[in-house]
């Protein structure tokens, strides 16, 4: 996780979309053995912590409770958490992550054209991303390369023309995994979504690479 700190004060204000947990980045079909390496990043863009105990994920079958996200626990403002079909240990190793909340061994794998559905503990739909370059021509294909959702497009989103695949050193701080994938899993999203409450010196602490 990257923290934005001003003279010891951490502050985050939600962007123009839904406050709370949103889908912020995804990559399908990574470069691991078989169909592994893909990931979904969820970020708390609200001003308060969210307890994700009882929350769940599903793909296009749209069934709450399919994949438990309870292991994320409490997600702080500005914090990102990762769901992957890698094991936690493998994902941490190939991306050089330390201290990022990760749920591994996802069995509801993503396809080239699919959905990401996030449900709260009561089974309510919290956020959805519908994507696929085959169904939505001229949009990104996130095979082995992540895509961060722009802040203006958070909340019940269909993939949009103009979204960009991750590139090393982009505005989201993307880097290359040891397998050759490019993304920024666990990074706080683009700076426009996070606003410091107090002006002053900004210190950035980023994940180990």
What tens digit of pLDDT does each residue of 94-144 get?
999 999 999 999 999 999 999 999 999 999 999 999 999 999 999 999 999
CB 192 within 8 A of CB 185: no
What are the helix and strand counts (H, E) for the chain?
A: 1, 17
Q: What does the alpha-carbon distance between residue 78 and residue 49 come to, in Å, rounded to a whole number?
A: 9
pLDDT at 178: 94
Of residues 120 and 18, more confidence is placed in 120
- Beta bridge mates, 27: 39
Specify the 3-state DSSP secondary structure of 125: strand
Overall domain count for the chain: 1
The pLDDT score that the predictor gives to residue 36 is 76
- Render pLDDT for 41-80 as a digit per residue (tens, 0 to 9): 999 999 999 999 999 999 999 999 999 999 999 999 999 9
DSSP label at 164?
Answer: -
Pick from 131, 165, 129, 123: nearest CA to 148? 165
141 contacts 153 by C-beta, under 8 angstroms: no
| Tokens describing residue 178 | 């040891």
Nearest C-alpha neighbor of 23 from the set 118, 110, 122: 118
* pTM of the entire predicted model: 0.83
CA 147 to chain centroid, in Å, comes to 9
CB atoms under 10 Å from CB of 102, counted, come to 21
Residues spanned by the domain of 21: 3-205
Q: Tell me if 96 sits within 8 A of 208, measured CB to CB.
A: yes
Which sign does the torsion angle of CA 10, 15, 19, 23 carry? negative
Q: Is the pLDDT of residue 26 over 80?
A: yes
């Amino acid at each position: 996780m990257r923290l934005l700190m001003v003279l010891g004060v951490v502050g985050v204000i939600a962007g123009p979309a839904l406050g709370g947990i949103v889908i912020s980045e995804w990559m399908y079909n990574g470069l691991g053995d078989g169909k592994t390496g893909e990931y979904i990043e969820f970020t708390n863009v609200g001003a308060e912590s969210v307890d994700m105990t009882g929350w769940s994920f599903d793909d296009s079958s749209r069934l709450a409770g399919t994949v438990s996200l309870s292991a994320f626990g409490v997600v702080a403002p500005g914090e990102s958490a990762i769901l992957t079909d890698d094991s936690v240990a493998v994902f941490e190793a190939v991306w050089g992550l330390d201290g990022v909340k990760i749920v591994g061994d996802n069995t509801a794998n993503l396809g080239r054209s699919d959905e990401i559905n996030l449900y709260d503990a009561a089974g309510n739909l919290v956020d959805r991303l519908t994507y696929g370059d085959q169904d939505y021509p001229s949009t990104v294909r996130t095979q082995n390369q992540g895509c961060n959702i722009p802040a203006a497009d958070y909340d019940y989103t269909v993939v949009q023309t103009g979204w960009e695949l991750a590139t090393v050193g982009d505005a989201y701080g993307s880097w290359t995994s040891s397998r050759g994938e490019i993304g920024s899993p666990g990074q706080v999203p683009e700076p426009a979504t996070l606003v410091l409450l107090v002006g002053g010196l900004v210190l950035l602490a980023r994940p180990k690479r």
